Amino acid sequence: MVQKVTEVVGTSKDGFAHAAQNAVDTAAKTVRNLRWFRVSELEGSIKDQKVAEYHATVKIYFDLD
């Protein structure tokens, strides 16, 4: 088996878990054979002194045909 990895950033206003889920959901629309993922970074943006958005950098591993 040979796998490839791609790195994407998911965002959400509802938390890091939702941001990671958004990254996987979006990748699944164009990439086949997704197998697993790893969250490599957690970041966020601040607006008006409050957390505005959560960002999760996600490495997604998938099998090559």
Give the C-alpha separation, 42 to 20, whole Å. Answer: 9
pLDDT-based confidence at 60, cuts 50/70/90? very high
pTM to 2 decimals? 0.90
Q: Report the C-alpha gap between 52 and 4 in whole angstroms.
A: 33
Exposed, middle or buried, 23 (CB in 10 Å: 0-12/13-18/19+)? buried
The 10s digit of each residue's pLDDT in 19-46 is 999 999 999 999 999 999 999 999 999 9
Q: Is 90 exceeded by the pLDDT of residue 5? A: yes
User: What CATH number does the domain containing 34 carry?
Assistant: 3.30.1660.10
Q: How many domains does the chain have?
A: 1
CB 62 within 8 A of CB 31: yes
Structural domain of 48: 3-63
What is the chain's mean pLDDT, rounded?
A: 97
What pLDDT, on a 0 to 100 scale, did the predictor assign at position 65?
85
- 34-47 and 3-12 strand pairing: unpaired
Residue found by looking up tokens 């697993």 in the block: 36
The confidence score (pLDDT) of residue 20 equals: 98
